[in-house]
């Protein structure tokens, strides 16, 4: 049996259903329009905000890169190419040491933070590899200009053997390179060089070095039936009961006087103070001490046409 009010109540259901459906559709439209990348109001999420921030490396970042298994060279390159804010206090360095961060990486961190402190953290300008102001791999380069064109040539690093030694009457020790001539031969008597030393804290090859530790030396050339090589004296000592003098490293008399100009941290312009005579030369990184096994020399020759 139907009551008097049953029909009006049943008539209300279609209207309620339509209202609920409209609200649901409105919510769906708002949700999808708010999704990142859509044309409409975007959600304000922490991730979206962080992704827009400039990346700044910290000690924690370096530890995370090491934990992820990146190589030493990759971490160093990341440090060089990214803005940094490192904690290089005694406590900060202690944490790095305990985490077994390698010394070359710590050197790169120290150098980068020193550059930040001095205001010289601006990265080198990328671009023309023949432009001295562009970014270059670490090493020593010969620079020249001809017909208005710039040219940068990287000087080959040669490894020499250590020969000679001591005896009862003294002796000398030499870094000896095979061959009579270097691959790069110059004709300019007063050449210009650029050293890129990784902001004084780069790779194992040049990390922490300065031009004073890469002196230019004239190599002695031996061309005989038994020997065809180039060499430089890196140490000597006297002999006999009354002479126990010892000299370690390259003596000043073998060095070529140079003018140097630091252009930015780790980048130097190098020019000989006098014209170079014909012969074989090298920027010698031979270390010190008689126990060293290999001499590293950036070699070139001067043979004017």
Cα 141 to Cα 86, 121, 131, 137: the distances in Å are: 31, 22, 11, 10
Judged against a pLDDT cut of 50, whether residue 75 lies above it is answered with yes
Higher pLDDT, 89 or 209: 89
Judged against a pLDDT cut of 80, whether residue 87 lies above it is answered with yes
Contacts of residue 258, defined as CB under 8 A and 6 or more positions apart, other chains included, come to 211, 215, 216, 270, 271, 272, 273
State the pLDDT at residue 200: 42
Higher pLDDT, 107 or 15: 107
**pLDDT per residue over 162-207, tens digit each?**
787 555 556 788 889 999 999 999 999 999 999 998 644 444 467 6
Ranked by mean pLDDT, the top range of 19-23, 136-140, 200-204, 301-305 is: 136-140
Higher pLDDT, 202 or 236: 236
State the pLDDT at residue 254: 87
Of all residues in the chain, what percent carry a pLDDT higher than 70?
66
State the pLDDT at residue 34: 47
State the pLDDT at residue 243: 54
Ranked by mean pLDDT, the top range of 102-106, 164-168, 216-220 is: 216-220
Ranked by mean pLDDT, the top range of 33-42, 52-61, 90-99, 198-207 is: 90-99
Q: What is the CA radius of gyration of the chain?
A: 33
Q: What is the mean pLDDT of residues 292-298?
A: 67
pLDDT tier at 80, thresholds 50, 70, 90:
confident
**pLDDT per residue over 111-121, tens digit each?**
888 777 666 55
Kindly report the three-state secondary structure assignment for every residue of the chain. Answer: CCCCCHHHHHHHHHHHHHHHHHHHHHHHHHHHHCCCCCCCCCCCCHHHHHHCCCCEECHHHHHHHHHCCCCHHHHHHHHHCCEECCCCCHHHHHHHHHCCCCHHHHHHHHHHHHHHHCCCCCCCECCCCCCCCECCCCEEEEEEEECCEEEEEECCEEEEEEEECCCCCEEEEEEEEECCCCCCEECCCCCEEEEECHHHCCCCCCCCCCHHHCCEEEEEEEECCCCEEEEEEEEEEECCCCCCCEEECCCHHHECCEEEEEEECCEEEEEECCCCCCEEEEEEECCCCCCCCEEEEEEEEECCC
- CA end-to-end span of the chain, whole Å? 123
State the pLDDT at residue 172: 81
């Amino acid at each position: 049996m139907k009551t008097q009010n049953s029909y009006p109540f049943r008539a209300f259901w279609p209207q309620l259903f339509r209202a609920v459906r409209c609200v649901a559709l409105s919510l769906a439209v708002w949700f999808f329009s708010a999704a990142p990348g859509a044309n409409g109001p975007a959600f304000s999420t922490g991730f979206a905000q962080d992704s827009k921030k400039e990346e700044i490396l910290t000690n924690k970042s370096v530890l995370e890169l090491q934990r992820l298994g990146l190589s030493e060279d990759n971490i160093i390159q990341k440090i060089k190419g990214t803005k940094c804010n490192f904690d290089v206090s005694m406590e900060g360095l202690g944490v790095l040491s305990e985490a077994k961060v390698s010394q070359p990486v710590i050197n790169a961190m120290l150098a980068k933070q020193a550059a930040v402190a001095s205001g010289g953290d601006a990265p080198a300008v990328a671009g023309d590899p023949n432009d001295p102001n562009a970014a270059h791999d670490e090493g020593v380069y010969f620079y020249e200009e001809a017909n208005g064109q710039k040219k940068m040539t990287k000087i080959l690093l040669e490894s020499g053997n250590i020969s000679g030694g001591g005896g009862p009457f003294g002796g000398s020790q030499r870094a000896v390179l095979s061959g009579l001539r270097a691959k790069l031969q110059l004709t300019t008597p007063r050449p210009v060089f650029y050293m890129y030393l990784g902001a004084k804290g780069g790779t194992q090859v040049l990390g922490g070095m300065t031009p004073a530790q890469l002196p230019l030396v004239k190599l002695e050339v031996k061309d005989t039936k038994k020997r065809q090589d180039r060499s430089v004296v890196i140490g000597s000592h006297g002999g006999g009961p009354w002479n126990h003098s010892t000299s370690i490293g390259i003596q000043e008399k073998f060095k070529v006087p140079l003018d140097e100009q630091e252009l930015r941290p780790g980048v130097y312009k190098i020019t000989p103070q006098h014209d170079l005579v014909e012969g074989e030369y090298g920027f010698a990184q031979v270390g010190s001490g008689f126990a060293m096994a290999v001499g590293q020399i950036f070699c070139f020759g001067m043979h004017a046409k």
